[in-house]
Structure 1
Amino acid sequence: MRNRSKWIFCMGLAFTMAATTVLSGCSLGKKDSGKTEIELVQYKPEAVKAFEKMEEKFNATHDDIHLTIESPNDAMTVLKTRFIREDNPDIIGIGGEVSYSNFLDSDMLMDISDYQGLDSIKDAYKEIDKALEFVPEDGVYAVPYVANAAGILYNKDMFEEHGWQIPTTWDEFMDLCEEIKAAGILPLYFGFKDTWTCLAPWNSIAVDLAPADVCRQVNKGETTFTEEYKEAADRMLELLPYGPDDPFAYDYNGACTAFANGESAMYPIGSYAIPQIQSVNPDMNIDSFVTPASNDPSENKLNSGIDLQFCVMNDCENKEAAYEVLDFLLEDENIQTYLDDQKAVPCKEGDFTLPETLDGMKEYIKEGKMADYQDHYYPSEMAVDAQIQTFLMKKDEDAFLKKFDKDWIRYNRDIIRKVQDYEKKQEKGEN
């Protein structure tokens, strides 16, 4: 059945071949260096400089292995095309989201349970990966490397000047927005012209108000999104009066620029936006806090997901060499290089220097009080980001939630069937 899933998965990706028939540099092939060749393809082109440093350092310190790291601009398309051609790299660097779930379900990833480096990874991130499995799998298939965090970025100098306090509940947050507005300052900026930015506040609100495994519960037929997401939808609408008159006028880059230029006190977005903001205003004093979507502070969690993890492909011929590459990447010095470059959160236990821009979230990171992005479970075909944007434009909550439930069944029919078959077998005591 798993091999059939792989065939269906690859056939479903065949359309990418037409769009990528001329892909220069997608596969360098195996070099005749006399060394064991390991190729890693990772999906974050913005981190190319950090990976170039690590590639150079690895090859300078290893006599028997040569490492090639590819960082293409459209890595997921490149990877899927290579999978169809059966031209797989040895290791892939991808995010902890539904693409990982699909690769795993298609039997493309190696079980790396015997990899000792997993012992150093924080349990919270290993649990996030397990939750991404459509049905529970035996084994471990990824090494979480770094995470990001979504919440509220704020202008620290502006807050100190006015004496504004960091809120710990939703009511306090709304009161803060009113206080900022009364001071003649725009509380929030949005980049909702780009649909994907609508997911940032949605995710950081939903993790406090909906079960972390809400998608699995829906697949099992135990609840609906209409029931579980109503309060999150209410909160999204409550944000709008505290942003620009037209929250859809600016895209992500425009919103980052406006916040960098002091046009708002806060910006509901992920830590991944910090390098972009600082490229506009390098001297900006930025800090962050967890979105307090609940009025019970104990219910509020840091919205943190696996931004980059490494998976060994099932057909990798040099497992020991691949593990040696993973060991190198997990060295504290190399993780710190990545953290400094990308303002990220380490998935590994250790004494790492986190960027000051995450000071307000460090307590949650230290305690492991976090939950994954809800959209990491959404199929791309469902276009939830566009659905949220339409909802915010029309403000028709009932229509939004009904469509969410309807589309979920439409785009997850096979997965729902698979989950329910699994549950029936568990009830019968079958493996």
Structure 2
Amino acid sequence: MKKGITSALVLMVSASMLLAACGGAAESKTDTGASAGKGDKKATINFVHWRGEDTESFKSIIAKFEQENPNIHVDMTVYSSGDPYTNGLQALILSGEGADVFASAPGAQFTNLLKSQTYEDLTNAPLLKNFSPDLIEAGKADGKQYAIPYQLVYNVPVYNKGMLDKLGLQPPKDWDGFLAMCQKLKESGVTPILYGYDVTPGQLINTLVMNNMPDKDAFPKFQTGAAKVTDPWFVKTLEQFKVLVDKEYIQKNATGTKYEGALALFAQEKGAILAAGSYAMATIAKQNPNIVQGLLAPITTSAGDMKYEGVHTTTFMLGINKKSKFKEEAKKFVEFLTKPEIASQYANDTGQLLTVNNVKYESKELGEQGKWTTKKTVFQPRLTITNKKVETAVNESLNLIVSGESVQKTIAATQAEIDRNVTK
């Protein structure tokens, strides 16, 4: 048994090294200080996450933590998001060491880690008092708190407010208005929607379905066979998306454009809408401090039939490895991250809304995102799918349409992939 686990671990680590060698998303490890010597009583914990853009902020926060806790040293390991992170984290957890505090995403990733009994139970942890209970629900299972969502994200496309204002356009309130806006943008020589094939499908699918789906639990039914992508509401969603593609409201060569490239084009003001989410706003502002940003969700129904204005997610869920040799030290670090003054530093450094109480936000981007806390939003639909392969099949349906596939063939291919992976 041990030999099998070791072999699996070697394969996963080798795969990560191969990704790095091929120019893919590679692991990075940031050591924030000298490791403890043999005679030192200092405990070293490893903090693992996927947000490389937050590294400098976390370095500063870790330095403050170590100053307050001189007997604890924090190493930080960062992977790119998506499969590189999932594979890297699993490798560290399988090794039995190397991941004391780690971030996870709600949905399939959280569910899979929970099944492997990775999380320490935090139900009675004093640090929970720093959160609004309704904002940390995504980290609960069977009435227990296993992970703590740290970030509040709006999975709503970002738009260039200055560009729309110049053309006399306002965020539309229905589908006809959205198409009319895209047409005017195109006629003005502006690409209406910028699409990154590696990120956009998993983001845009949420706002496209939010008002089409019959109920907020529609997506999980795909994985049990209780619902199918051949159902009228999902067919309508893909048909509406195909209109955007056929009318060339999405940039050419979208299947060859990664998220980073689409974001750069948006920051250069070569497109009006970036099909991503609020998490992109801080990076955009760094690339172009003069751009004025907002959030704009396509409403796929009439204004009277609209149920939701947008989509939210509570994510970057902090957990403690049940197998950690330094659980108490790990809890101290997580609790430190939830202090209002530390959370405020992280929020303003990184441009992220947080679930922590009493955070003080300073940037105009965070101010814009804050307006959405009063809007009617639904928790990100695709993350209600707990079968990763089913989730991927649903997301990839948009990439099939973008690549030129018909709605009919896309539906057939998507349902076939789901059928191979549903729970009977």
Per mean C-alpha deviation after superposition, the further-off stretch among 19-28 and 42-51 is: 19-28
> Which residue does 1:377 correspond to in 2?
385
The match for 2:336 among 328, 335, 348 is: 328
Equivalent runs, 1:164-243 vs 2, <5 Å: 164-182=169-187, 184-192=188-196, 194-210=197-213, 211-227=215-231, 228-240=233-245, 241=247, 242-243=249-250
Q: How far off is 1:349 after superposition?
A: 3.2
Equivalent-residue separation in structure 1 for 2:270 and 2:280 (angstroms): 16
Q: 1:31 to 1:159 in 2, by over 3 A?
A: farther
User: SS at the partner of 1:328?
Assistant: helix
Q: Displacement, 1:125?
A: 3.4
Distance 1:171 1:128 in 2: 34
Q: CA deviation at 1:190?
A: 2.3
| Matched residue, 1:114 | 124
Partner of 1:15: 11
Identify if the C-alpha distance between structure 1 residues 280 and 318 changes in structure 2 by more than 3 Å, giving closer, same or farther. closer
Q: Tell me the CA shift for residue 123 of structure 1.
A: 4.1
2: CA distance, partners of 1:26 / 1:360: 32
* Pairing of 1:22-41 with structure 2 (within 5 A): 32=38, 33-41=40-48
Q: Give the Cα separation in 1 of the matches to 2:319 and 2:261.
A: 35
Counterparts of residues 16-415 of structure 1 (less than 5 Å) = 16-19=12-15, 32=38, 33-72=40-79, 74-130=84-140, 137-182=142-187, 184-192=188-196, 194-210=197-213, 211-227=215-231, 228-240=233-245, 241=247, 242-248=249-255, 250-296=257-303, 298-353=306-361, 355-357=363-365, 359=367, 361-366=369-374, 369-374=377-382, 377=385, 379=387, 381=389, 383-384=392-393, 385-412=395-422
In structure 2, the CA distance between the partners of 1:308 and 1:402, relative to structure 1 (3 Å rule), is same
Question: 1:215/1:107 Cα in 2 relative to 1: closer, same or farther (>3 Å)?
Answer: farther
Write the deviation string for residues 122-181 of structure 1: whole angstroms up to 9, x where unpaired: 444333344xxxxx5341110110132222322222222232222222232223223334
Moved more, 360-369 or 104-113: 360-369
Task: State which drifts further: 346-355 or 376-385.
Answer: 376-385
Structure 1 contact 304–373 (Cα < 8 Å) conserved: no
Compared CA separation, residues 101 and 257, structure 1 to 2 (3 A)? same
State the secondary structure of the residue aligned to 1:299: coil
Aligned equivalents of 1:206, 1:72: Cα separation in 2 = 30
Greater mean alpha carbon deviation, residues 14-23 or residues 141-150 = 14-23
- Whole-angstrom CA distance in 2 between matches of 1:347 and 1:9: 37
1:40–1:339 Cα change, 3 Å: same
Question: TM-score if structure 2 supplies the norm length?
Answer: 0.82
Give the conservation status (yes or no) of the 8 Å contact 1:16–1:81. yes
Change (3 A) 1:290 1:31: farther
The alpha-carbon distance between structure 1 residues 222 and 248, as it changes in their structure 2 partners (threshold 3 A), is closer
Percent identity reads 17
Q: Structure 1: which 4+ aligned runs deviate by more than 4 Å?
A: 7-14, 20-32, 72-75, 358-361, 378-383
Give the CA deviation at 1:286: 1.8
3-state SS of 2:285 partner: helix
Deviation at 1:41, TM superposition (A): 1.7
Number of positions where the alignment pairs a residue of Structure 1 with one of Structure 2: 403
Unpaired segments ≥5 residues, structure 2 = 19-26
TM-score, normalised relative to structure 1: 0.80
Q: Give how far 1:268 is off.
A: 2.2
Is the contact made by 2:113 and 2:119 (CA closer than 8 Å) also made in structure 1? yes
Identify if the C-alpha distance between structure 1 residues 160 and 256 changes in structure 2 by more than 3 Å, giving closer, same or farther. same
Deviation at 1:13, TM superposition (A): 6.4
Q: Which sections of structure 1, spanning at least 5 residues, go unmatched?
A: 131-135, 418-431
Contact 1:287–1:358 (8 Å) recurs in 2: no
